């Protein structure tokens, strides 16, 4: 039996990037693929773009299917999309590709080979790179690591979602994506897989490109994103992870600098005190600062933020 893929792209008002996303899947020319775009009722011309690929149902071979209707958000679109892909044997391989991301050439063929060679594996993930609004390379995703269950549950999410594929039976077994989550639905899914003892395999090949934009959810979530992560992990009975607390420390540091430059030294001191308190309460975060890998990830994050800020300034000029 050939390896079959079901890929879903959730999309809403992202016409600027949607075409590149779709084309990165179609250029795979993988013969056993069901590709479905779940558009949330876009008003920016995305539907007109989708129509250029067909009417959404009666499509030419190699073209995607698509649906445009209001939904309850990204997680809802992903779950409903997978529910409408076929066949539903449990053996097909699922993956979702957000409309501002792209697959690397040859990804599906490579991932199919990994699953064929490892019939006991449930999840395959690979390397990825960051790209900018124009699709230009920024850097590799430095935080990706070979699989380690403890680090996934206690340190950080080192699995990049667009470069990850999993069996339908694994997805169905954990109830799919949690629709109550806005930022952490992918990490939550990996945790549910890991807690069930499912087998992960990491491949060193670059499988996808993550488009880093100042307006995307990861970049713009702020403390609300961190609060959601903490609350979700608490539901899993897990402690606050190290890298999330380091992100909090970064937020406090920015606040401290802003307050100091305005002459508000007491407020600046309070923010610095919050950094110390956070590191004391999360020893994993403090110890992780001793590892060079941590500083590589932090440096990459700073570069991404700086580039996004510069792009925003150019648009406003």
Q: 242-256, pLDDT tens digit by residue?
A: 888 888 888 888 888
β-strands 123-131, 200-211 pairing: parallel
Which has more pLDDT, 83 or 214? 83
Per-residue confidence (pLDDT) for residue 300, from 0 to 100: 74
Per-residue confidence (pLDDT) for residue 245, from 0 to 100: 84
Contact yes or no for 225/183 (Cβ under 8 A): yes
Contact yes or no for 104/208 (Cβ under 8 A): yes
Per-residue confidence (pLDDT) for residue 63, from 0 to 100: 74
Which range, 34-43, 80-89, 260-269, has the best average confidence (pLDDT)?
A: 34-43
Q: Quick one: how far is CA 219 from the chain centroid?
A: 11
Q: How far apart, in whole angstroms, are the C-alpha atoms of residue 9 and residue 22?
A: 8
Confidence of residue 17 (pLDDT cuts 50, 70, 90): very high
If asked whether residues 211 and 258 sit together in one domain, one would say no
Work out the percent of the chain whose per-residue pLDDT is above 70.
88
Assess whether the previous peptide bond of 87 is cis (omega < 30° from 0). yes
Q: How far apart, in whole angstroms, are the C-alpha atoms of residue 17 and residue 150?
A: 36
Question: Of 185, 219, 253, which one is at a domain's C-terminal end?
Answer: 219
Across 44-58, 134-148, 218-232, least confident range: 218-232
Per-residue confidence (pLDDT) for residue 299, from 0 to 100: 67
If asked whether residues 171 and 273 sit together in one domain, one would say no
Q: 172-205, pLDDT tens digit by residue?
A: 999 999 999 999 999 999 999 999 999 999 999 9
If asked whether residues 173 and 304 sit together in one domain, one would say no
Mean residue pLDDT across the chain: 88
Per-residue confidence (pLDDT) for residue 5, from 0 to 100: 95
Q: What's the structural domain count of the chain?
A: 2
Q: How far apart, in whole angstroms, are the C-alpha atoms of residue 303 and residue 316?
A: 20
DSSP E strand boundaries for 59-154: 65-68, 93-96, 102-103, 123-131, 137-140
If asked whether residues 35 and 160 sit together in one domain, one would say yes
Confidence of residue 215 (pLDDT cuts 50, 70, 90): low
Per-residue confidence (pLDDT) for residue 179, from 0 to 100: 95
The verdict on residue 97 lying in a domain is yes
**pTM: predicted TM-score of the whole model, two decimal places:** 0.86
If asked whether residues 27 and 158 sit together in one domain, one would say yes
If asked whether residues 89 and 167 sit together in one domain, one would say yes
The verdict on residue 229 lying in a domain is no
Per-residue confidence (pLDDT) for residue 97, from 0 to 100: 98
Per-residue confidence (pLDDT) for residue 57, from 0 to 100: 58
Q: 52-107, pLDDT tens digit by residue?
A: 988 665 555 567 899 999 988 999 999 999 999 877 776 899 999 999 999 999 99
Mean pLDDT of the 214-241 span: 78
Q: What is the largest CA-CA distance in the chain?
A: 69
Q: How far apart, in whole angstroms, are the C-alpha atoms of residue 158 and residue 315?
A: 32
Mean pLDDT of the 227-249 span: 87
Mean pLDDT of the 293-314 span: 68
Question: Of 168, 185, 219, which one is at a domain's C-terminal end?
Answer: 219
Q: Tokens 């230009």 sit at which residue?
A: 136
Domain range for residue 273?
Answer: 241-316
DSSP 3-state of 137: strand
């Amino acid at each position: 039996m050939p390896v079959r893929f079901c890929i879903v792209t959730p999309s809403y008002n992202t016409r600027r990037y949607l075409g590149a996303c779709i084309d990165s899947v179609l250029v795979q020319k993988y013969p056993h693929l069901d590709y479905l775009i779940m558009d949330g009722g876009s008003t920016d011309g995305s539907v007109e773009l989708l129509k250029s690929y067909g009417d959404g149902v009666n499509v030419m071979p190699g073209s995607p299917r698509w649906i445009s209707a209001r939904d309850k958000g990204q997680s809802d679109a992903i779950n409903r999309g997978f529910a409408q892909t076929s066949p539903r044997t449990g053996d097909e391989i699922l993956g979702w590709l957000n409309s501002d991301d792209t697959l690397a050439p040859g990804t599906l063929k490579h991932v199919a080979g990994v699953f064929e060679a490892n019939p006991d594996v449930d999840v395959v993930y690979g390397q990825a790179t960051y790209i900018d609004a124009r699709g230009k390379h920024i850097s590799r995703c430095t935080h990706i690591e070979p699989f380690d269950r403890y680090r996934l549950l206690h340190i950080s999410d080192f699995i990049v979602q667009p470069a990850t594929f999993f069996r339908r039976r694994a997805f169905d077994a954990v109830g799919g994506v949690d629709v109550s989550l806005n930022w952490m639905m992918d990490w939550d899914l990996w945790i549910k897989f890991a807690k069930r003892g499912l087998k992960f395999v990491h491949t060193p090949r670059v499988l996808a490109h993550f488009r880093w934009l100042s307006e995307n959810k990861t970049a713009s979530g702020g403390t609300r994103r961190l609060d959601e992560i903490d609350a979700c992990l608490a539901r899993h009975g897990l402690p606050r992870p190290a890298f999330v607390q380091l992100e909090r420390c970064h937020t406090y540091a920015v606040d401290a600098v802003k307050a100091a430059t305005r002459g508000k030294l007491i407020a600046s001191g309070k923010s610095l005190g919050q950094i110390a308190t956070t590191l004391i309460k999360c020893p994993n975060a403090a110890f992780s600062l001793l590892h060079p890998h941590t500083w590589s990830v932090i440096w990459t994050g700073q570069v991404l933020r700086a580039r996004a800020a510069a792009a925003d300034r150019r648009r406003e000029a």
